[in-house]
Structure 1
């Protein structure tokens, strides 16, 4: 099991570090709303991953490949949600910059207020759970590393924990790096470019889901 877990950890890390809507959401939230909100979005994504892992352990994710209707329904919902995120980012890019308050401490408290973190958490959960590729990832990858003599349920939970821990570390690094851009984001030109870039990227991920024909 140790050998299988190590092999899975290596493969999962490479996949987790690949650009995707979850990572983009964490980066954008951290850069525009502060690291606290970025970490909340990351926690939402991780919660979704745990949900996919539990569903895989009990066999629910098999519906994604067994039923084309289920997969396509989730795919369309996920694409629609990414379109909303992309449209929101592009709309924010067109807004005139808001004047900075005189006290920087007050600004920081405003951008990292608990209600904003709750919204970031919910967005993270929705972005992950509405992406059928996340479910297919768990269903198709994890069984390949489960040893024949190991209990499938326990091994699936173990590999889910490994993947979640790796993602937590990766998102911790992303939020730290992205939040360093907060000072530049206050510049109107930089903010517009960042919102435009992330908006187009979200729309690109939506198009990828709409044209996807797997599994």
Structure 2
């Protein structure tokens, strides 16, 4: 892999990762509810899920899904079902603001492990990422050179850039939280967020691997 190719990959991933998706939306919504510091556990879960999908693609799971379309359909339906579950849960989330108009109350009962698990589940619920990785990453790999180090470098770069955008969305969510102290506004935010999760879930249901 040449330096020019690596820079092309960095630019492409920077734009791809910036695009809002279930992970970014979940990070932003978590930051609104919990604050940036506690959202790091969510971000770690999302990154771990991303690494799982990239690793699955690297070991040939994408080819298996193409060979067994029924398996992809099962994963797609399960992933869509989970996103729709999150959509309903977010839409119906209880709303309360502090009496003095401060930021929304943080719920300390949610453990970091549970937040990490939630982020991980959101991340791996999208089997489209396996197909995308299988089509995207090999374009930047030089077949004349050892492929494993190249894939490792690409995955590392992808993870760093994805983590950067998670942080940006978390900071944006916390800034947005200042405007959500009124119950009516927070309820609207929850329903918009739930609607977007539903849209992601329905999009996944409609997706067909080529």
Give the structure-2-normalised TM-score. 0.90
Shift in Å, 1:33? 2.1
1:180 and 2:208 correspond = no
Alignment deviations for residues 190-211 of structure 1 (CA, whole Å, 9 cap, x no partner): 1101100000111111111111
Greater fraction helix: 1
The structure-2 alpha-carbon separation of the partners of 1:135 and 1:114, relative to structure 1 and needing over 3 Å to count, comes to farther
Asked whether the 8 Å contact 1:57–1:153 carries over to 2, the reply is no
Structure 1 position 99, deviation (Å): 5.7
Listed as ranges, the matches of 1:28-67 within 5 Å are 28-67=29-68
In the alignment, does 2:133 pair up with 1:138? yes
1:153 deviation in Å? Answer: 2.1
Q: Deviations over 1:70-129 (max 9, x none)?
A: 21111001100001100001111xx3x436378x79x87x43x37343322212111111
CA RMSD, Structure 1 to Structure 2 (Å)? 2.1
Name the structure 1 match of 2:9. Answer: 8
Match of residue 146 from structure 2: 151
Structure 1 unpaired stretches of 5+: none
| Equivalent pairs, count | 208
Whether the 8 Å contact between 1:53 and 1:157 is mirrored in structure 2 is no
Runs of 4+ in structure 1 displaced over 6 angstroms?
none
The gaps in structure 2 that reach 5 residues or longer are: none
Distance 1:114 1:99, change over 3 A: closer
Instruction: Name the SS of the counterpart of 1:64 in structure 2.
Output: helix
CA distance in 1 between counterparts of 2:182 and 2:99 reads: 14
SS of residue paired to 1:147: coil
Give SS of 2:178's match: helix
Q: Deviations over 1:34-61 (max 9, x none)?
A: 2133222221111111112222332233
Between the aligned partners of 1:59 and 1:150, the Cα distance in structure 2 is 19
